[in-house]
Amino acid sequence: MLCQQCGFQLPENSKFCHKCGSAMANNAQQAEQAQPLPQPQPQPQQQIQQQPENAPVVGENKSKIGIILGIVGSVIAVGGIIFVLFITTCRYDSCFGRKIIGGYYCSKHACIDPDCTNGGYSHWYKDVPIYCGIHLCFADENCLERSLDGGSFCLDHTCIELGCLERSNLELNGRRYKNYCITHTCRKSDCTQRRFDGSGSCEIHVCKEPDCLSDSSYEIGDRYYENYCITHTCHKTDCTQRKFDGSLWCEKHTCKEFDCFYETLSNSEYCLLHN
Ligand SMILES: [Zn+2]
Ligand SMILES: [Zn+2]
Ligand SMILES: [Zn+2]
Ligand SMILES: [Zn+2]
Ligand SMILES: [Zn+2]
Ligand SMILES: [Zn+2]
Ligand SMILES: [Zn+2]
Ligand SMILES: [Zn+2]
């Protein structure tokens, strides 16, 4: 076909002249109808390049706005989905379980304390719901009990002394602590009894002298102190009796002479002076 304006030779059904840009009025309708057909036609490209009118530009703007709105819409939609997932999905790494009501974790990953919103602690390798780091007994990894309020250990691993929250039930430096913590356990190495108030020893292992809180029942060198502390034990080696008042020796090993406090001779009741 020929352009009616400039006479340029055009392919059949051209909408516009490739040379002068004039619209081919009688073909436009046909072309529109023909558009869905699979015939390959170069017109649309030409149309954009050569059409000086404003109309297509407005259309372009409209479609740009449409695209932008579409993008914004999908961003909002995706954001919304992410947000919904965020507020409903367990916070635990790579867990998509539903949060428990009022919590941040799913029932598998939430602290099993009903009033706690923390995640359970290191249970991922055991795969059982347990207490969080605050509520789990800290004694050892095998204890899954709840720690006492304000403390770090469960009932079994806490000193039974009233008000004491220290660890009990442990082994340290080769010795065993059972019901009481280190501070409240008798100093004597194989004893697990409670310390006598103000003393380092239990009631059995504290000096028998009234008001004396020193340790008894221990060895120094080759000497053994049994019932009394060093201060209150007779100076005679192998004797574990209480010192006689005013003397360094016990009643048996103090000279029987009145007001004499010397040590008796062996096989005698008197000292060297009074023998
Ligand atoms: Zn979870
Ligand atoms: Zn907790
Ligand atoms: Zn425990
Ligand atoms: Zn204690
Ligand atoms: Zn003791
Ligand atoms: Zn004593
Ligand atoms: Zn003695
Ligand atoms: Zn004497």
CA 265 to centroid of ligand 8, rounded, Å: 9
* Between 35 and 119, the higher pLDDT residue: 119
Protein residues with C-beta less than 5 angstroms from the ion ligand 3? 137, 139, 143, 145, 154, 157
CA distance 260 to 8: 151
CA distance 149 to 136: 11
pLDDT, residue 16, reads 74
* Dihedral sign (CA 115, 121, 124, 127): negative
pLDDT, residue 126, reads 67
CA 244 to centroid of ligand 7, rounded, Å: 9
pLDDT, residue 64, reads 83
pLDDT grade, residue 27 (50/70/90)?
very low
CA 129 to centroid of ligand 3, rounded, Å: 16
pLDDT, residue 146, reads 95
Which ligand has the shortest distance to the CA of 264? 8
Query: In degrees, to the nearest 5, what angle opens at C-alpha 107 toward C-alphas 104 and 113?
Result: 80
Around 12, how many Cα atoms within 13 Å sit in the side-chain half-sphere?
A: 3
pLDDT, residue 45, reads 52
- Which helix (H) or strand (E) segment holds residue 33: the answer is helix 25-34
On whether the CB atoms of residues 51 and 16 are closer than 8 A, the answer is yes
Which ligand has the shortest distance to the CA of 131? 2
For the segment 7-31, the average pLDDT, to the nearest whole number, is: 68
pLDDT, residue 57, reads 57
- The predicted-structure confidence for 98-127, as pLDDT tens digits, reads as follows 988 888 898 888 999 999 999 887 655 567
CA 175 to centroid of ligand 4, rounded, Å: 16
pLDDT, residue 28, reads 43
Which ligand has the shortest distance to the CA of 216? 6
Which ligand has the shortest distance to the CA of 273? 8
Which ligand has the shortest distance to the CA of 96? 1
On whether the CB atoms of residues 158 and 151 are closer than 8 A, the answer is yes
CA 162 to centroid of ligand 2, rounded, Å: 24
pLDDT grade, residue 78 (50/70/90)?
confident
Which ligand has the shortest distance to the CA of 202? 5
pLDDT, residue 29, reads 46
Query: In degrees, to the nearest 5, what angle opens at C-alpha 142 toward C-alphas 137 and 147?
Result: 10
Q: Quick check: 48 pLDDT over 60? A: no
Q: Strands 175-177, 223-225: parallel, antiparallel or unpaired by DSSP?
A: unpaired
CA 237 to centroid of ligand 7, rounded, Å: 8
Q: Quick check: 32 pLDDT over 80? A: no
* Between 96 and 38, the higher pLDDT residue: 96
